[in-house]
Amino acid sequence: MRNRYDITAGFVPLLDSALLAVAKEKGFAETQQLGLTLVRERSWATIRDRLAVGHFEVAHILAPMPIACNLGLMAPAPRMIVPMALGLGGNAVTVSSALWRDMADHGAADPLDARLSGAALKSVISRRAGDRLRFGIVHPYSGHNYELRYWLSGSGIDPDREIEIVTLPPQDMGDALKAGAIEGYCVGEPWNTFGVLERGAQIATVKAAIWKSSPEKVLGVNGRWGDSHPEALSALLRALYNASLWCADTANHEELAVLLSGPAYIDRPVELLRPSVTGALRTGRHATQTVEDFFVPHAKAATFPWKSHALWFYTQMVRWGHVDHTAMHQTVAGNTYRPDIYRRALKSLGVAMPAASSKVEGALQVETPVGSSGTLTLGPDGFFDGKIFDPDRVDEYIAAQKQA
């Protein structure tokens, strides 16, 4: 007879909290003899603080934040481990209707073409007089910040001199845009769709166009709790993995949208959830585009905690002056993500898993079958500028970024 465990998890109301919500509501946690309590929070700083003081054992958390905690960049901060990603993609860059009109006048046409949208924004900024454009992100140590900066700099825009980047809670972005406090933002769903449908905004590009098959939120675990409760953590990973399978089934998409729209989760009309759940994204008030990889909950090893993902976020922390590059820092960052725990927990399910723990990001241009313990397809995983990140050549990558 299995032991029974109780776990409290924090989350911010976003599409990519879906695996936790489904694990609880569809019985996958209960099947693992797991009492899963979910606590909704408004900000990522609160998630971090409540992990630090032991209110939560685990949390839905920004992918770079556990790395920042372990590098000593935040306080209070627990030692963190990341044994699972909570999907791929899910973000977009949304701009005001006025800025999009200017960008369209300078060549922007397709939000899925990150290169074209970036070039148009560069042209707008080059001809602009007065204050810098202001863009919102949800936290400095977020995928939003690093992807937005990567897209801007890759488009020839200095994100420190030519753009002002400010921090806001996800749910406030659309209102800030309408009030004229910001001209654009990078955030998860449903707040891009909210901006389009309720605030007249336009999606300028999506995460899947900036860096394909990239992680957004992960399962952050208080390291002290994880080390002392390995069986409970393994049970949670199995429940979340089975939840990812359920979320990926198109037959469940309408039920998933309804579930997430409920008062216990995002608490917004289901019309704001359907686009991102189905991939039929509302990019403008009268425009819809199918983005099949907008949010990937299961395919392409979407829940695998790649060390190369952790190390790419680390290179961006170095690039933007958040931490010095040292061998020790690189080791701390890479070791924050724990594919060994993932493999051990899911072994009993007999699932297909990558043989390696890192991969060259940007090397796969098409979906590519790989194999170790079963059938698995990865990629494409490219960056919009065609560059490649090799986790075995971090020094060279960081040096090249300084010269860019």
Higher-confidence position of 55 and 131: 55
Rg (CA), the chain: 20
Q: What is the pLDDT of residues 137-188, one digit of tens each?
A: 999 999 999 999 999 999 999 999 999 999 999 999 999 999 999 999 999 9
The CA distance from 102 to 109, in Å, is 11
Q: What is the pLDDT of residues 210-250, one digit of tens each?
A: 999 999 999 999 999 999 999 999 999 999 999 999 999 99
Is the pLDDT at 372 greater than 70? The verdict is no
Nearest in space to 289 (alpha carbons), one of 117, 128, 149: 117
The CA distance from 295 to 260, in Å, is 14
Q: What is the pLDDT of residues 332-362, one digit of tens each?
A: 999 999 999 999 999 999 888 898 999 999 9
Q: What is the pLDDT of residues 61-119, one digit of tens each?
A: 999 999 999 999 988 788 999 999 999 999 999 999 999 999 999 999 988 899 999 99
Element (H, E) at 84: strand 80-85
For residues 317 and 143, the answer to whether their CB atoms sit within 8 Å is no
pLDDT value at residue 3: 85
Q: How many CB atoms lie within 10 A of CB 131?
A: 8
Q: What's the Cα-to-Cα distance from 288 to each of 112, 202, 311, 379, 398, rounded to whole Å?
A: 12, 11, 35, 24, 38
Q: What φ, ψ does residue 36 adopt, rounded to 5°?
A: -105, 115
- The token pair at 358 is 């890192």
The CA distance from 85 to 301, in Å, is 9
Measured in residues, the chain has a length of: 404
Q: Write the DSSP assignment of 31-49 as a string of letters.
A: HTTEEEEEEE-S-HHHHHH
Is the pLDDT at 375 greater than 90? The verdict is no
pLDDT > 70 fraction of the chain, expressed in percent and rounded: 99
For residues 313 and 63, the answer to whether their CB atoms sit within 8 Å is yes
For residues 313 and 333, the answer to whether their CB atoms sit within 8 Å is yes
The CA distance from 380 to 400, in Å, is 23
pLDDT value at residue 369: 83
Alpha helices in 262-360 (DSSP H): 274-278, 307-319, 327-336, 339-346
